[in-house]
């Protein structure tokens, strides 16, 4: 059994839960910082240590706001405790927004004080 790598409010349905990395992404946005890499770690079952998880699809979409070159950890197939990094563009080679070549990449950070 894999333990949760997300946090739903207590007593609420799991559908309202947020992955743990969402907090870090929100904090970066609040501070006007760019996200350049992301690693998702979860406790493995029993005494198997910690495992690396590829970001879920929703988190991949959140990370894409910072551009297709954000690096994310992906587990090695033979051992999820070992990992390597890939760019989002390589994790999702058929990402829907590739059909909009005129969009500006990456996200341009603003001064947090200037946000309404």
Which residue is it, tokens 């033979």? 78
Number of domains in the chain: 1
Residue 86 lies in a domain: yes
Q: Is residue 81 part of a domain?
A: yes
Examine residue 50 and state whether it is found in any structural domain, yes or no.
yes
User: Which CATH number covers residue 44?
Assistant: 3.40.140.10
pLDDT above 70 covers what percent of the chain? Answer: 72
User: What is the arithmetic mean of pLDDT over 87-108?
Assistant: 74
**Residue 112 belongs to a domain:** no
Q: Is residue 113 part of a domain?
A: no
* Model pLDDT for residues 9-21, shown as the tens digit of each residue: 566 666 667 887 8
And the tokens for 26?
Answer: 């929100």
Residue 21 in any domain: the answer is no
Residue 7: inside a domain, yes or no? no
**Among candidate residues 21, 13, 27, 34, the one with its CA nearest the CA of residue 60:** 21
**Residue 90 covered by a domain:** yes
Give the DSSP letter of residue 45: S
Give the residue among 48, 51, 62 at the shortest CA–CA distance from 19: 62
Strand (E) or helix (H) holding 62: helix 57-64
pLDDT of amino acid 18: 80
Indicate the DSSP class of residue 88. H
Count the helices and strands in the chain (H runs, E runs).
3, 7
pLDDT by residue (tens digit) across 47-80?
A: 778 889 899 888 998 998 888 899 999 999 999 8
99 pLDDT higher than 70: yes
Domain that holds residue 72: 34-94
State both tokens at 58.
């929703």
Q: Is the pLDDT of residue 108 over 80?
A: no
Alpha carbons 66 and 83: distance in angstroms, whole number? 22
Nearest to 17 by CA among 5, 33, 34, 3: 5
């Amino acid at each position: 059994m894999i333990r949760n790598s997300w946090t739903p409010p207590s007593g609420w349905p799991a559908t309202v839960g947020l992955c743990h990395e969402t907090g870090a992404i929100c904090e970066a946005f609040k501070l006007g910082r760019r996200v350049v890499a992301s690693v998702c770690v979860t406790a493995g079952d029993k005494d198997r240590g910690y495992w690396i998880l590829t970001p879920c699809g929703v988190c991949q979409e959140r990370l894409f706001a910072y551009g297709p070159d954000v690096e994310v950890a992906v587990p090695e197939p033979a051992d999820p405790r070992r990992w390597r990094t890939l760019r989002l563009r390589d994790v999702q080679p058929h990402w829907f927004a590739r059909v909009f070549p005129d969009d500006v990449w990456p996200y341009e950070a603003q001064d947090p004080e200037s946000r309404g």
